[in-house]
Amino acid sequence: MIRFENVSKVYARGARPALDQVSVDVERGEFVFLVGASGSGKSTFLSLVLREQRPTRGHVYVAGRDVANLSAWRVPTLRRQLGVVFQDFRLLQNKTVHENVAFALQVIGKPRHAIRDTVPEVLDMVGLAGKGKRMPTELSGGEQQRAAIARAIVNRPQILLADEPTGNLDPTTSLGIMRLLDRINRTGTTVVMATHDDEIVNEMRRRVVELSDGVVVRDEARGGYGEREAILPDVGASPVLDSPGSGTRAPVQTVRGV
Protein backbone atom coordinates (compact mmCIF):
# COMPACT_ATOMS: atom_id res chain seq x y z
CA MET A 1 0.00 0.00 0.00
CA ILE A 2 2.86 2.34 0.88
CA ARG A 3 6.31 1.53 -0.40
CA PHE A 4 9.47 3.57 0.13
CA GLU A 5 12.38 2.54 -2.09
CA ASN A 6 15.72 3.97 -0.98
CA VAL A 7 14.11 7.29 -0.28
CA SER A 8 16.28 10.23 0.74
CA LYS A 9 15.09 13.71 1.48
CA VAL A 10 17.49 16.61 1.86
CA TYR A 11 15.90 19.96 2.73
CA ALA A 12 18.90 22.24 2.41
CA ARG A 13 21.89 21.49 0.27
CA GLY A 14 24.69 20.11 2.38
CA ALA A 15 22.51 19.60 5.44
CA ARG A 16 22.05 16.21 7.07
CA PRO A 17 19.29 14.38 5.18
CA ALA A 18 15.93 14.22 6.94
CA LEU A 19 15.52 10.75 5.49
CA ASP A 20 18.48 8.67 4.35
CA GLN A 21 18.01 5.65 2.11
CA VAL A 22 14.76 4.61 3.75
CA SER A 23 13.07 1.48 2.42
CA VAL A 24 9.78 0.52 4.06
CA ASP A 25 6.89 -1.54 2.74
CA VAL A 26 3.46 -1.23 4.35
CA GLU A 27 0.92 -3.84 3.29
CA ARG A 28 -2.77 -3.20 2.78
CA GLY A 29 -4.63 -3.35 6.08
CA GLU A 30 -1.54 -3.07 8.26
CA PHE A 31 -1.27 -0.95 11.41
CA VAL A 32 2.16 0.60 11.67
CA PHE A 33 3.66 2.72 14.44
CA LEU A 34 6.32 5.16 13.35
CA VAL A 35 8.48 5.97 16.35
CA GLY A 36 11.62 7.94 16.95
CA ALA A 37 12.83 11.10 18.60
CA SER A 38 11.82 14.54 17.33
CA GLY A 39 13.73 15.26 14.14
CA SER A 40 14.16 11.58 13.32
CA GLY A 41 12.17 11.97 10.11
CA LYS A 42 8.67 10.82 11.07
CA SER A 43 6.94 13.95 9.82
CA THR A 44 8.99 13.97 6.63
CA PHE A 45 7.92 10.37 6.08
CA LEU A 46 4.24 11.33 6.36
CA SER A 47 4.54 14.43 4.20
CA LEU A 48 6.20 12.37 1.47
CA VAL A 49 3.23 9.99 1.52
CA LEU A 50 0.90 12.99 1.22
CA ARG A 51 3.12 14.45 -1.47
CA GLU A 52 3.46 17.70 0.37
CA GLN A 53 7.09 17.16 -0.55
CA ARG A 54 8.93 15.18 -3.17
CA PRO A 55 11.82 12.88 -2.27
CA THR A 56 15.29 14.04 -3.26
CA ARG A 57 16.16 10.50 -4.34
CA GLY A 58 14.29 7.21 -4.50
CA HIS A 59 10.65 6.33 -5.13
CA VAL A 60 7.54 6.56 -3.00
CA TYR A 61 4.57 4.43 -4.06
CA VAL A 62 1.19 5.05 -2.48
CA ALA A 63 -1.82 2.96 -3.52
CA GLY A 64 0.03 1.88 -6.62
CA ARG A 65 1.04 5.37 -7.73
CA ASP A 66 4.54 6.71 -8.06
CA VAL A 67 3.96 9.75 -5.88
CA ALA A 68 7.26 11.48 -6.61
CA ASN A 69 6.44 11.74 -10.31
CA LEU A 70 2.77 12.53 -9.89
CA SER A 71 1.80 15.65 -11.81
CA ALA A 72 0.38 18.48 -9.72
CA TRP A 73 -3.16 18.22 -11.06
CA ARG A 74 -3.40 14.56 -10.03
CA VAL A 75 -2.35 15.19 -6.45
CA PRO A 76 -5.97 15.78 -5.32
CA THR A 77 -6.92 12.32 -6.60
CA LEU A 78 -4.16 10.82 -4.47
CA ARG A 79 -5.19 12.76 -1.39
CA ARG A 80 -8.79 11.62 -1.69
CA GLN A 81 -7.50 8.13 -0.89
CA LEU A 82 -5.69 9.36 2.20
CA GLY A 83 -7.03 10.54 5.52
CA VAL A 84 -4.91 12.62 7.87
CA VAL A 85 -5.18 13.30 11.59
CA PHE A 86 -3.01 15.72 13.51
CA GLN A 87 -1.95 16.32 17.08
CA ASP A 88 -3.71 19.72 17.09
CA PHE A 89 -6.97 18.40 15.50
CA ARG A 90 -7.15 21.29 12.99
CA LEU A 91 -10.91 21.63 13.13
CA LEU A 92 -12.41 24.79 11.67
CA GLN A 93 -13.52 26.78 14.70
CA ASN A 94 -16.34 28.62 12.96
CA LYS A 95 -18.09 25.46 11.85
CA THR A 96 -20.00 22.87 13.85
CA VAL A 97 -18.77 19.30 14.12
CA HIS A 98 -21.21 18.24 11.44
CA GLU A 99 -20.12 21.08 9.15
CA ASN A 100 -16.47 20.26 9.72
CA VAL A 101 -16.98 16.68 8.58
CA ALA A 102 -19.29 17.71 5.74
CA PHE A 103 -16.71 20.26 4.59
CA ALA A 104 -14.33 17.45 3.58
CA LEU A 105 -17.00 16.07 1.26
CA GLN A 106 -18.29 19.41 -0.02
CA VAL A 107 -14.90 20.55 -1.26
CA ILE A 108 -14.42 17.43 -3.34
CA GLY A 109 -17.79 17.96 -4.94
CA LYS A 110 -19.87 15.23 -3.32
CA PRO A 111 -23.62 15.64 -3.86
CA ARG A 112 -25.62 17.02 -1.00
CA HIS A 113 -27.78 13.95 -0.35
CA ALA A 114 -24.68 11.77 -0.07
CA ILE A 115 -23.25 14.18 2.51
CA ARG A 116 -26.50 14.21 4.46
CA ASP A 117 -26.44 10.43 4.71
CA THR A 118 -22.75 9.80 5.34
CA VAL A 119 -21.86 12.42 7.92
CA PRO A 120 -24.19 11.23 10.74
CA GLU A 121 -23.07 7.64 10.07
CA VAL A 122 -19.43 8.55 10.50
CA LEU A 123 -20.12 10.68 13.58
CA ASP A 124 -21.93 7.71 15.01
CA MET A 125 -19.01 5.45 14.29
CA VAL A 126 -16.45 7.66 16.02
CA GLY A 127 -18.72 7.99 19.04
CA LEU A 128 -20.01 11.53 18.49
CA ALA A 129 -23.62 10.60 17.82
CA GLY A 130 -25.85 13.54 18.66
CA LYS A 131 -22.97 16.01 18.96
CA GLY A 132 -23.00 17.14 15.35
CA LYS A 133 -24.43 20.55 16.23
CA ARG A 134 -21.71 21.37 18.79
CA MET A 135 -18.92 23.81 18.00
CA PRO A 136 -15.39 22.42 18.36
CA THR A 137 -14.75 24.64 21.40
CA GLU A 138 -17.67 22.98 23.17
CA LEU A 139 -16.01 19.57 22.95
CA SER A 140 -13.32 17.94 25.07
CA GLY A 141 -9.94 17.26 23.50
CA GLY A 142 -10.77 13.62 22.93
CA GLU A 143 -14.05 14.50 21.29
CA GLN A 144 -12.33 17.03 19.07
CA GLN A 145 -9.88 14.39 17.96
CA ARG A 146 -12.79 12.05 17.25
CA ALA A 147 -14.35 14.75 15.09
CA ALA A 148 -11.03 15.17 13.26
CA ILE A 149 -10.86 11.40 12.71
CA ALA A 150 -14.43 11.45 11.43
CA ARG A 151 -13.40 14.11 8.92
CA ALA A 152 -10.39 12.05 7.88
CA ILE A 153 -12.33 8.85 7.23
CA VAL A 154 -15.63 10.24 5.94
CA ASN A 155 -14.49 9.75 2.35
CA ARG A 156 -13.49 6.12 3.14
CA PRO A 157 -9.80 6.47 2.42
CA GLN A 158 -7.60 3.41 1.95
CA ILE A 159 -4.91 4.84 4.17
CA LEU A 160 -5.17 6.80 7.40
CA LEU A 161 -2.12 8.81 8.44
CA ALA A 162 -1.99 9.97 12.03
CA ASP A 163 0.68 12.38 13.24
CA GLU A 164 0.82 11.99 17.02
CA PRO A 165 -2.96 11.86 17.38
CA THR A 166 -2.73 11.32 21.15
CA GLY A 167 -0.04 13.93 21.74
CA ASN A 168 -2.46 16.41 23.30
CA LEU A 169 -4.59 13.93 25.23
CA ASP A 170 -4.48 12.33 28.64
CA PRO A 171 -3.81 8.55 28.88
CA THR A 172 -7.45 7.52 29.33
CA THR A 173 -8.67 9.60 26.41
CA SER A 174 -5.73 8.36 24.33
CA LEU A 175 -6.86 4.82 24.96
CA GLY A 176 -10.29 5.61 23.52
CA ILE A 177 -8.71 7.17 20.44
CA MET A 178 -6.48 4.11 19.98
CA ARG A 179 -9.48 1.80 20.20
CA LEU A 180 -11.16 3.89 17.52
CA LEU A 181 -8.11 3.77 15.25
CA ASP A 182 -7.90 0.03 15.81
CA ARG A 183 -11.54 -0.36 14.82
CA ILE A 184 -10.97 1.68 11.68
CA ASN A 185 -7.96 -0.52 10.93
CA ARG A 186 -10.10 -3.65 11.27
CA THR A 187 -12.44 -2.40 8.54
CA GLY A 188 -9.49 -2.72 6.16
CA THR A 189 -7.99 0.74 6.34
CA THR A 190 -4.21 0.88 6.45
CA VAL A 191 -3.12 3.00 9.42
CA VAL A 192 0.27 4.66 9.81
CA MET A 193 0.68 6.46 13.12
CA ALA A 194 3.64 8.53 14.18
CA THR A 195 3.85 8.65 17.96
CA HIS A 196 5.92 9.25 21.07
CA ASP A 197 3.53 7.38 23.33
CA ASP A 198 5.47 4.32 24.49
CA GLU A 199 2.64 2.94 26.61
CA ILE A 200 0.33 2.76 23.65
CA VAL A 201 2.95 1.21 21.40
CA ASN A 202 3.88 -1.38 24.01
CA GLU A 203 0.29 -2.27 24.68
CA MET A 204 -0.92 -2.56 21.10
CA ARG A 205 1.92 -4.84 19.96
CA ARG A 206 1.69 -3.87 16.30
CA ARG A 207 4.38 -3.38 13.73
CA VAL A 208 6.90 -0.74 14.79
CA VAL A 209 9.22 1.15 12.46
CA GLU A 210 11.78 3.17 14.37
CA LEU A 211 13.56 6.07 12.71
CA SER A 212 16.69 7.66 14.06
CA ASP A 213 18.40 10.56 12.29
CA GLY A 214 16.55 9.68 9.11
CA VAL A 215 17.54 6.01 9.08
CA VAL A 216 15.31 3.01 9.81
CA VAL A 217 16.99 1.41 12.81
CA ARG A 218 14.30 -1.12 13.63
CA ASP A 219 11.31 -2.71 11.89
CA GLU A 220 9.58 -5.25 14.13
CA ALA A 221 6.34 -7.06 13.39
CA ARG A 222 5.04 -6.95 16.98
CA GLY A 223 7.37 -4.50 18.61
CA GLY A 224 7.43 -2.28 21.63
CA TYR A 225 8.44 1.36 21.85
CA GLY A 226 12.05 0.47 22.51
CA GLU A 227 14.57 1.51 25.12
CA ARG A 228 14.27 4.95 26.56
CA GLU A 229 16.95 6.74 28.47
CA ALA A 230 16.24 7.22 32.14
CA ILE A 231 14.96 10.70 32.91
CA LEU A 232 17.59 11.34 35.59
CA PRO A 233 21.12 10.08 35.32
CA ASP A 234 21.82 7.17 37.68
CA VAL A 235 24.33 8.63 40.15
CA GLY A 236 23.70 6.28 43.04
CA ALA A 237 22.09 7.00 46.37
CA SER A 238 22.12 10.63 47.48
CA PRO A 239 23.71 11.05 50.92
CA VAL A 240 21.43 13.94 51.77
CA LEU A 241 18.27 11.97 51.20
CA ASP A 242 19.62 8.90 52.95
CA SER A 243 20.66 10.49 56.15
CA PRO A 244 19.19 13.91 56.66
CA GLY A 245 20.98 15.96 59.24
CA SER A 246 24.32 14.23 59.03
CA GLY A 247 25.93 16.67 56.59
CA THR A 248 26.71 20.32 57.07
CA ARG A 249 23.80 22.29 58.32
CA ALA A 250 22.26 24.92 56.22
CA PRO A 251 22.62 28.36 57.82
CA VAL A 252 19.48 29.49 59.62
CA GLN A 253 17.88 32.49 58.01
CA THR A 254 15.90 34.92 60.04
CA VAL A 255 13.61 37.56 58.74
CA ARG A 256 13.09 40.69 60.78
CA GLY A 257 10.35 43.14 60.45
CA VAL A 258 11.44 46.49 59.12
Which residues contribute to the site for other proteins (CB under 8 A)?
A: 50, 72-73, 75-82, 84, 90, 92, 103-104, 106-109, 111-112, 151, 155
Q: How far is the CB of 256 from other proteins (least distance, A)?
A: 59
> What does the alpha-carbon distance between residue 96 and residue 167 come to, in Å, rounded to a whole number?
23
Asked whether 228 and 198 are in contact (CB, 8 A), the reply is yes
Q: Which is nearer to other proteins, 35 or 162 (CB)?
A: 162
Q: Which is nearer to other proteins, 93 or 253 (CB)?
A: 93
CA angle 189, 79, 11 (to 5 degrees): 110
Q: How far is the CB of 93 from other proteins (least distance, A)?
A: 8
> What does the alpha-carbon distance between residue 11 and residue 18 come to, in Å, rounded to a whole number?
7
Q: Which is nearer to other proteins, 154 or 204 (CB)?
A: 154
Q: How far is the CB of 137 from other proteins (least distance, A)?
A: 14
Q: How far is the CB of 92 from other proteins (least distance, A)?
A: 6
Q: Which is nearer to other proteins, 32 or 85 (CB)?
A: 85
Q: Which is nearer to other proteins, 59 or 110 (CB)?
A: 110
> What does the alpha-carbon distance between residue 19 and residue 160 come to, in Å, rounded to a whole number?
21
CA angle 173, 35, 156 (to 5 degrees): 60
Q: How far is the CB of 113 from other proteins (least distance, A)?
A: 12
Taking alpha carbons only, the member of 8, 44, 40 closest to residue 214 is 40
Taking alpha carbons only, the member of 181, 178, 182, 229 closest to residue 199 is 178
